[in-house]
Amino acid sequence: MRIAAPGFTLIELLVTVAMMAIVLTLGVPSFKEVIKNNRLTAVTNELVNVLTLARSEAIKRGVRVTVCKSAGARCATRGNWEQGWIVFTDENNDAAYDSGTETLLRAHEAISGQVTMTGNANVANYISYVASGRSQLTGGGFQAGTIKICDDRSGKVGKEIVLSSTGRLRLKTGVTCP
């Protein structure tokens, strides 16, 4: 009486390896797209959350609160929003953080990866909210604009944060990136 040894034949093993190779070949590129889409969404949500915080703090504290792009503890006038940002009470209405007299509410370091965050003219350097919750330029007048968020892909894969003249935010998806 002969007992069959448990295991796989060589043909069964080769078929299994071939099927795994086909599944990985099809699945890995689409998984990379999912990761990139999630990274763009996460970065967008981080900035939206900070802008929402700034607006609510301006209303709560009754003073101007500003979010500016920053590569440290100072507002930057060069570069884009992916270098990081800070949120602070802007009591002298100059969109520049003065550590002696103003309160730093939050800081965010640079965004890792190949993400770009570019604001148009009115929101290129800062977004500022006054006590009423409206966005306002430091020189007066409403502040409205968009921040485009893209990665290393081209086509309609980007997102935009749109700031209205009342200070409200909305998201736009399917934005064309270079």
| Domain residue limits, the chain | 10-113+121-143
Match domain 10-113+121-143 to its CATH number in 3.90.1580, 3.55.40, 2.40.30, 3.40.50. 3.55.40
Is residue 147 within 8 Å of 125, Cβ to Cβ? no
pLDDT in tens, the chain (178 residues): 666 667 778 898 899 999 998 888 887 777 888 899 999 999 999 999 999 999 999 999 999 999 999 988 899 999 999 999 999 999 999 999 998 899 999 999 999 889 999 999 999 999 999 999 999 999 999 999 999 999 999 999 999 999 999 999 999 999 999 8
Q: For the whole model, what pTM was predicted?
A: 0.84
